[in-house]
Structure 1
Amino acid sequence: MPDEPLSPWPRFTVAYLSGGDLPPDLARQFPQLIVPSAGITGIAAEDKLLLVTAVDGTELVQLGHHLYGPVCLDPSNGQVVDLVTNRGEVVRGPLMVNSSLDQFVQTTRAATELFPYHDADPDADTEAAADALRAQLEPIDPAAWQVDGYWDTFYWDVAIGDYSPDQFEPPPPPL
């Protein structure tokens, strides 16, 4: 079996998303949002803000997506939340990712800028690296670290070695 291609070295960038296609009340509330468009988290920005409905009927503003489904802003409380989909149908959520869009941007930026979390040595203490990472990220938004939440899962992924630097293309040399 051939080796899978490596992911690109994570870089943090933002996107400016227009709310012009949202219903008028939401378009006025969110004419444009600045959201992470790339980073270590694997959350990619949409081309524009979209309206989605959670299983519980909550209307959310989708700003991006990850492997399991949409990442949204809840207009009722300002939280960034995620949903899990199966074959295009929302099956779980919304669950909080961050308490606010600003904290989402800050946490994603910090998590990306702190990468790599350890060296590529197979004997690296990935649990200690995850603990050190959490100690730096958690103060940005302590409420976002709920058990089985987005950032808690990210922590455990780092702890088991899922974010080893050898899984990424090395960064380009400085100019």
Structure 2
Amino acid sequence: MDVPSCAFHARRRLPRPVFPSRHAIGPQQHGRTRQFTSAPPGGGTWAAAARSNAAVRSTGAPRMVRMSAPVEDLPGWESLSPELRERFRAADLPAALLKLDDSANFLLGPTLTEQDVPPLGQLLRFGYGTGLFEGEFGLSFATGAVHLIRPDLPPNFVNSTLDQFGQSVRLTLRYERDLTEGDVDTYTDAAEQIRAGIARIDPAADETDTYWDSLYYELAAGTYANFE
């Protein structure tokens, strides 16, 4: 049963988002595309590796892009344990989420790479975001949780498990057209439905200052419908 939209506003006030809003940053900051790689030889943090990569040029992609790239095709797949491979297959991760022009909330790949990320410990990097939610998505070996590792900012909790991340992303994909092409009532309703769904899938992901909490306020504000 869907939770009424008013329930969210009654439950919590609009806090200051963890991520800087698109409306509060310059056009050269928002929408930029960065290519992420694993940390450089000899160690280093993901943030340092991200800063060392140069911005890549736009490919002239359509406004909203749907792609298919099975996780089994990514470099590093063969090095995963059978149990971890099965978890990725079960999660059924899409290749992209909210891919608009040069910005994307989630892109699968380009490699599966283990990396030490203080204070979280060892994570398996499996995806990244560009633009407003720039960073790298990593799976914790210790807890099984998914985190977004952001340049120069603390790690951001995303989901409690890889399977719940997959469910959350696929739920959001169902509303992608409403979020990017709908009017104010359409994208606001879509944002509420996504939030209600996330709360059912993974209550911890609906807490204040998580990745999905921050994304909700951007969706409800029409950031992706007014994307430039």
Picking from 53, 60, 76, the partner of 2:116 is 53
Aligned identity (percent) is 25
Separation of aligned partners in 1, 2:114 and 2:210: 23
Residue by residue over 1:54-74, the C-alpha shift from the partner in whole angstroms, topping out at 9 and shown as x without a partner, is 132611000011122210110
Residue 152 (structure 1) shift: 0.4
Q: For the structure 1 residues 138 and 14, does the alpha-carbon distance in structure 2 shift closer, same or farther, using more than 3 Å as the test? A: farther
1:82-161 map, 5 Å: 82-86=148-152, 91-93=153-155, 95-117=156-178, 120-121=182-183, 124=185, 127-161=188-222
State the one-letter code of the partner of 1:144.
A
Separation of aligned partners in 1, 2:109 and 2:198: 25
Separation of aligned partners in 2, 1:31 and 1:128: 36
Q: Which residue of structure 2 aligns with residue 30 of structure 1?
A: 84
Q: Which residue of structure 1 aligns with residue 97 of structure 2?
A: 39
Q: Which residue of structure 1 aligns with residue 44 of structure 2?
A: none
Residue 6 (structure 1) shift: 7.8
State the one-letter code of the partner of 2:66.
R
Paired residues, number? 154
Separation of aligned partners in 1, 2:150 and 2:116: 12
Structure 2 segments unaligned to the other structure (5+ residues) = 1-30, 32-59, 99-103
Does structure 1 retain, via aligned residues, the 8 Å contact 2:121–2:142?
A: no
SS in 1 for 2:193: helix
Residue 20 (structure 1) shift: 3.4
* Structure with higher strand content: 1
Residue by residue over 1:108-131, the C-alpha shift from the partner in whole angstroms, topping out at 9 and shown as x without a partner, is 01101122336644x547545422
Separation of aligned partners in 2, 1:12 and 1:146: 30
Residue 150 (structure 1) shift: 0.5
* Structure with higher helix content: 2
Does structure 2 retain, via aligned residues, the 8 Å contact 1:117–1:133?
A: no
Structure 1 segments unaligned to the other structure (5+ residues) = 169-175
Q: Which residue of structure 1 aligns with residue 137 of structure 2?
A: 71
Q: Which residue of structure 2 aligns with residue 173 of structure 1?
A: none
- TM-score norm. by structure 1 comes to 0.71
- TM-score norm. by structure 2 comes to 0.56
Q: Which residue of structure 2 aligns with residue 172 of structure 1?
A: none
Does structure 2 retain, via aligned residues, the 8 Å contact 1:12–1:112?
A: no
Q: For the structure 1 residues 126 and 112, does the alpha-carbon distance in structure 2 shift closer, same or farther, using more than 3 Å as the test? A: closer
SS in 1 for 2:195: helix
The alignment's C-alpha RMSD in Å is: 3.0
Separation of aligned partners in 2, 1:130 and 1:46: 26
State the one-letter code of the partner of 1:20.
E
